[in-house]
């Protein structure tokens, strides 16, 4: 269960108790050093953490799909600080995925907009992305 909006630790604990067989993955929107603290807190209950761009504190929340990257040095700090797998999202594409993998060393990647055209998955973009991941560029 991916929780895209910010939730409290109490809410996360309640979900864990109510859904014991379901993996819970809160999204941490990496907006500053406070994101490291938030990730540590959430990782105490979560099965994994997903790091994304966006900002849930804005009047009109940004909860992903922005196509923007965030500060990968903070993402690496989070990855090093939490005992659960860390997924990386936010502005990932064939143009930067190798740098993202080297900088953060995530467990996995989450992507969307960079591999779509006209709202559909784009075979050429997917191929270019995975070729870069595999080092076959």
Going by pLDDT thresholds of 50, 70 and 90, the confidence category of residue 129 is confident
**Considering the chain, what is the average pLDDT of its residues?**
89
Q: What pTM does this model have?
A: 0.87
CA–CA gap between residue 72 and residue 126 (Å, rounded): 23
**Cβ pair 24, 47 in contact under 8 A:** yes
Going by pLDDT thresholds of 50, 70 and 90, the confidence category of residue 124 is confident
pLDDT value of residue 47: 98
Pairing of strands 120-121, 116-117: antiparallel
pLDDT value of residue 104: 97
Burial status of residue 124 (CB atoms within 10 A of its CB: 0-12, 13-18, 19 or more): exposed
User: Averaged over 18-39, what is the pLDDT?
Assistant: 95
pLDDT beyond 60 at 62:
yes
Domains and CATH numbers, the chain: 2-112 (3.20.20.70)
């Amino acid at each position: 269960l991916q929780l895209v909006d910010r939730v409290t630790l109490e809410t996360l604990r309640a979900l864990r108790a109510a859904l014991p067989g379901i993996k819970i993955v809160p999204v941490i929107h990496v907006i500053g050093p406070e994101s490291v603290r938030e990730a540590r807190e959430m990782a105490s209950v979560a099965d994994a953490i997903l790091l994304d761009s966006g900002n849930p504190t804005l009047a009109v929340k940004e909860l992903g799909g922005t196509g923007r990257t965030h500060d990968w040095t903070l993402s690496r700090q989070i990855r090093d600080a939490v005992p659960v797998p860390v997924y990386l999202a936010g502005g990932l594409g064939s143009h930067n995925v190798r740098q993202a993998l080297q900088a953060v060393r995530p467990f996995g990647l989450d992507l969307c907009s960079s591999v779509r055209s006209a709202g559909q998955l784009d075979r050429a973009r997917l191929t270019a992305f995975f070729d870069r991941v595999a080092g076959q560029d």
